[in-house]
Amino acid sequence: VSECLFCRISAGELPADFVYQDDEVVAFLDIQPQAPTHLLVVPRRHVSGLDAVESMEAGELGNLLKVAARIAGAEGLNGSGYRVVVNTGPDAQQSVAHLHIHVIGGRQMRWPPG
Ligand code: DGP
């Protein structure tokens, strides 16, 4: 049994509020939402983060972003806009070592981020 939190969520061993699932990707609500819409798009296959990108096929990575954009649209964010974020490593405060794309929207955001 994997001890990785997002592996366990994607396997259904831990609960989450799923908004999307297919054979390769799951998406669920972030437990600590930073905006009215805050979802995480996660590959089922364990990849520790974007810094492990060389272990991924380009299509696998591209598909994740495509799913993120589709979900943002399905959540009604295409007009108002949204932000996708991949925190990578300590300076970016990545806290879960399984690649995930944040999809954040539903409020005005600042740039640059803090
Ligand atoms: P990051 O800091 O980029 O590694 O983001 C990890 C995110 O994961 C953070 O926004 C909070 C969220 N998170 C942590 N634990 C859980 C959990 O058990 N369930 C869900 N749904 N989200 C979680």
CA of 70 to the centre of ligand 1 (A): 21
Distance 96 CA to ligand 1 centre (A): 7
With a 6 Å cutoff on the Cβ, whether 6 touches ligand 1 is no
**H helix and E strand count, the chain:** 2, 5
- What pLDDT was estimated at residue 90? 97
Instruction: List pLDDT tens digits, range 14-72.
Output: 999 999 999 999 999 999 999 999 999 999 999 999 999 999 999 999 999 999 999 99
What global pTM score does this model have?
A: 0.97
Does 48 contact ligand 1 (Cβ within 6 A)?
no
For 70, residues 6+ apart whose C-beta sits below 8 A from its C-beta are none
Per residue in 43-56, pLDDT tens?
A: 999 999 999 999 99
Q: Catalytic residue at 102? A: no
Say how far apart CA 9 and CA 19 lie, in whole Å: 13
